[in-house]
Structure 1
């Protein structure tokens, strides 16, 4: 286990970002880690890591808790 990396993560402040989608999207995490909450009549909490791909329907509200300097996402809009 890498204790130095673990301690660095604990010291970093987690940022909250909320997005309401007007189109369906493919969400690809290209770096870092995050916790995502989706609310579309159900509340779902998901831990996501780099390389994961999620399909999210339009009208869904999503919230991210992330370490700002490490998280990068790519949103591809679908019609």
Structure 2
């Protein structure tokens, strides 16, 4: 990784999935709130990278609320 002084430094890195697994392995009950918060953040990042997830979620919500397929299709056009 490039440091502020312009030199390259060795750095430990992990993917988002690896970080979540590390945090999930913490056996403390105090870490539970953090685990839930991170899981929600992970879902939001997935939605940002794939907007279709949000669209499908909205369609499913409309179906659960009893809206017709015609009504849903009209809203998708906009």
TM bucket, shorter chain: under 0.3
Point out the structure with the larger strand share.
Answer: 1
The structure whose Rg is larger is 2
Task: Indicate the structure whose relative CO is greater, using CA pairs within 8 Å and at least 6 residues apart.
Answer: 1
Point out the structure with the larger helix share.
Answer: 2
* TM-score, normalised relative to structure 1: 0.26
* TM-score, normalised relative to structure 2: 0.27
